Amino acid sequence: MSYQQVADDVFLINGTDVNMVLLRDGRDLTLIDAGWYGDAARIEAVLDKLGHRPQDINAILLTHAHLDHVGAINHLHAYGIPAYTSAAEVPHAKGEVHESATPLDVIQRALKDRAALGWALRITRAGGLRKNAVPHIQPFPNEGPLDLPGHPVPISTAGHTSGHTVFHLPEVGAVATGDALVTAHPVSKIEGPQLLPLFFHHNVESAKAALDALEPLDAATVLPGHGPIYTGGIGKAVIEARAAVQV
């Protein structure tokens, strides 16, 4: 399965153990996140299945600059597609600061856990050890809803990284939560709404507090950065995530 249709004009694209969200308005598209470096061909294949070309993407929005979300941004920039993230995340995306367990840390941790071993191999094949800075990244052009297909609304959820942003989609009652709230991950022992294992977060206390910004959103559908779609509502997802914090 390479993608799922969430609403008339909203699609979840499955990358290598990571999700992206595609918003459509006629011929025009917005892409939220860009998978791993090696997921570029998958993205292009989904666009093709939907009858689109990469040039139809008006902009890429980045929840945060970890390698499993930045992936194909530079590849797609060859089509002239701009990329935006929060002002606080720009230095991270440009590679001026580092806010993650290094890919090697993550893989070494995974090697201790047989269940995660397959994942470590998959992400290595998908470019998980490559540096992937985005020199052309820009801060969001305005506050509030963005003038892009799907009219996504950036909501600051700093913690997982210093400038992590989720994108509320009020027109369809959904929210793309990136890594502020996920529903599964190959290195997580649990399923359902949750924070990622805490070693993944730049600031653990802020990552926990960021759930407060998600809770009141009007969103029945949760489109996480990792794991399956959750349709029980973001409020319930946050309550479950708070109860499920792992070390």
Q: Residue numbers of the site for Zn ion (CB under 5 A)?
A: 66, 179
Smallest distance from Zn ion to CB 52, Å: 27
Instruction: Specify the residue, 151 or 202, whose C-beta has the smaller distance to Zn ion.
Output: 202
Smallest distance from Zn ion to CB 15, Å: 13
Distance separating alpha carbons of residues 33 and 83, to the nearest angstrom:
9
Smallest distance from Zn ion to CB 178, Å: 7
Instruction: Specify the residue, 177 or 221, whose C-beta has the smaller distance to Zn ion.
Output: 177
Instruction: Specify the residue, 30 or 157, whose C-beta has the smaller distance to Zn ion.
Output: 157
Distance separating alpha carbons of residues 46 and 19, to the nearest angstrom:
13
Instruction: Specify the residue, 46 or 187, whose C-beta has the smaller distance to Zn ion.
Output: 187
Of 84, 64, 86, 88, nearest in space to 76 by CA: 84
Q: What is the DSSP string of 176-209?
A: EEETTSBS--TT-S--SSBPPPGGG-SSHHHHHH
Distance separating alpha carbons of residues 208 and 215, to the nearest angstrom:
12
Distance separating alpha carbons of residues 1 and 4, to the nearest angstrom:
8
Smallest distance from Zn ion to CB 37, Å: 15
- Taking CB atoms, the residue at the shortest distance from Zn ion is 66
